[in-house]
């Protein structure tokens, strides 16, 4: 096994973005790819490490940049200001996602018919919103993602299989939002799964999360269980039919 990693610059409109990707150079030919969406701080080491973990599984992992090359928040206030334009204009999420998707499809190591998207917190919302466009990808995984749907007069059929991984005690995603999301997925004809982890708050996959008052706490059991579910899900959706 020889994990190769690098960055790639790309544009969405006039915004310069920089993704990080990793793959196993020992694997011959093309392989499935998984786009990874960062939390509200920006493309950081956390999603870079996830790209490497996916490379070890035989995929190409691509950490998406939603904000711009080198843009990273350093506090909750900065993170919120970076995320807010996307929450106010959900179409911007889809545009940035499509730009990253187009880059990945053209990579020589990638089977462009075998692509999935995952995301964490804000990134979970980004991944789900990409599925909501009706894009024909294999699957989407949301880790403690925000679940609220954008306002849309003409919702589309969701073609991607959906795996949502949620903490029962997540204060940022109330039960009403969970119920609405599940109804939305059903009405959209999606093949969806929703897994809830008890005694688990927001950001449960992030070892740096340790703020119960804010609602972000790492939970090692939920972290490990959610990754096992992810590995199984990817194996399922990328199995040739």
Model pLDDT for residues 140-191, shown as the tens digit of each residue:
999 999 999 998 767 789 999 999 999 999 999 999 999 999 999 999 999 9
* Mean local confidence (pLDDT), 56-74: 97
pTM above 0.85, yes or no: yes
pLDDT at 241 over 60: no
pLDDT at 173: 97
Q: Say if residues 117 and 37 touch (Cβ distance below 8 Å).
A: yes
In the chain the domains, ranked by start, together with CATH numbers, are 3-237 (3.40.50.1820)
pLDDT tens figures, 89-145: 999 999 999 999 999 999 999 999 999 999 999 999 999 999 999 999 999 999 999
* Mean local confidence (pLDDT), 27-31: 95
234 to each of 58, 108, 139, 197, 222, how far by Cα in Å?
11, 21, 8, 20, 18
Confidence of residue 239 (pLDDT cuts 50, 70, 90): confident
Q: Which residues is 210 bridged to in the sheet?
A: 217
Q: Which residues is 15 bridged to in the sheet?
A: 12
Q: What is the DSSP pairing of strand 15-24 with strand 3-12?
A: antiparallel
DSSP H helical segments within the chain, as ranges?
A: 45-56, 76-88, 90-105, 122-132, 175-187, 220-237
pLDDT at 129: 97
User: Which one, of 134, 98, 117, 123, lies nearest residue 203 by Cα?
Assistant: 123
pLDDT tens figures, 187-220: 999 999 999 999 999 999 999 999 999 999 999 9
pLDDT at 144: 98
Cα–Cα–Cα angle for 218, 59, 157, rounded to 5 degrees = 80
């Amino acid at each position: 096994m020889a994990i190769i990693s690098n960055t790639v610059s790309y544009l969405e409109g006039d915004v310069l973005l920089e993704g990080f990707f990793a793959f196993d150079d020992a694997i011959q030919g093309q392989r499935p790819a998984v786009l990874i969406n960062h939390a509200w701080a920006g493309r950081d080491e956390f999603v870079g490490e996830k790209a490497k973990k996916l490379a070890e599984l035989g995929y190409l992992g691509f950490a998406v940049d939603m904000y711009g090359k080198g843009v990273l928040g350093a506090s909750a206030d900065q993170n919120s200001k970076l995320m807010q334009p996307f929450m106010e204009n959900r179409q911007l999420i889809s545009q940035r996602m499509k730009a990253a998707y187009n880059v990945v499809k053209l990579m020589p190591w990638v089977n462009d018919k075998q692509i999935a998207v995952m995301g964490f917190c804000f990134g979970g919302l980004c991944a789900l919103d990409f599925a909501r466009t009706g894009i024909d990808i294999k699957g989407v995984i949301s880790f403690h993602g925000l679940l609220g749907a954008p306002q849309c007069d003409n919702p589309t059929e969701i073609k991607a299989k959906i795996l949502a991984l949620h903490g029962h005690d997540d204060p940022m995603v109330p039960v009403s939002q969970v119920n609405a999301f599940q109804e939305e997925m059903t009405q959209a004809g999606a093949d969806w799964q929703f897994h809830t982890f008890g005694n688990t708050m927001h950001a449960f996959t992030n070892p740096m999360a340790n703020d119960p008052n804010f609602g972000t706490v790492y939970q090692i059991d939920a972290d490990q269980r959610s990754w096992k579910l992810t590995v199984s899900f990817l194996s399922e959706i990328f199995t040739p039919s």
